[in-house]
Amino acid sequence: MKGSGWVLDKTDGLLIRINRYRPLRGSGYINIPKRISLTKSIINVNNAGDFCFKYSILSKFVRTHPGRVSSYSNMLNHYDFSCINCPTPLKDIYVFEKVNNISINVFGLESRLSMRKIMFILSKLSIVS
């Protein structure tokens, strides 16, 4: 209104919304929907900590019982995980890729109700440095 000659007389109300920004990150163990787990296309390591990223990366090398933490004891030093936080935010994955000279694809799973039926949507997430 500067330069217009108009003057603000009063304000009837003001609404301010403040939200905490929580960037997308990994978490502890979660159950995968049964319809997806039956396809045997995902390895879901049953762990009590926040090390899902570590186990998901190492699962490539485990042939027997990949869903058990005990199957990973010989492989924990295969990569340098000291450059990331646990649970692992997406921004740390870029650093992990550079430190270990590997490439990682991250996918997100979303469920939606469509025509009274639950649909699962898998989408590739972008990792930006």
Per-residue confidence in pLDDT tens, the chain, 129 aa: 577 888 888 999 999 999 887 666 666 677 888 888 888 888 888 888 888 889 989 998 898 998 899 999 888 889 999 999 988 888 899 999 999 999 998 888 777 777 777 777 777 776 655
The pLDDT assigned to 58 comes to 93
CB within 8 Å of 4: residues ≥ 6 apart: none
The pLDDT assigned to 15 comes to 92
Residue 66 phi/psi, 5° resolution? Answer: -65, -15
The pLDDT assigned to 127 comes to 62
Cβ(122)–Cβ(35) below 8 Å: no
In angstroms and rounded to an integer, the radius of gyration of the C-alpha atoms of the chain is: 22
The pLDDT assigned to 26 comes to 63
The pLDDT assigned to 128 comes to 56
Cβ(73)–Cβ(59) below 8 Å: no
Whole-prediction pTM: 0.67
Residue 30 CA to residue 33 CA, distance in Å, equals 9
Tell me the CA distances in angstroms from 10 to 4, 7, 80, one per residue in order: 17, 9, 60
Beta bridge partners of 116: none
The pLDDT assigned to 106 comes to 85
| DSSP strand pairing (117-125 vs 106-114) | antiparallel
Whose tokens are 């799973």? That residue is: 109
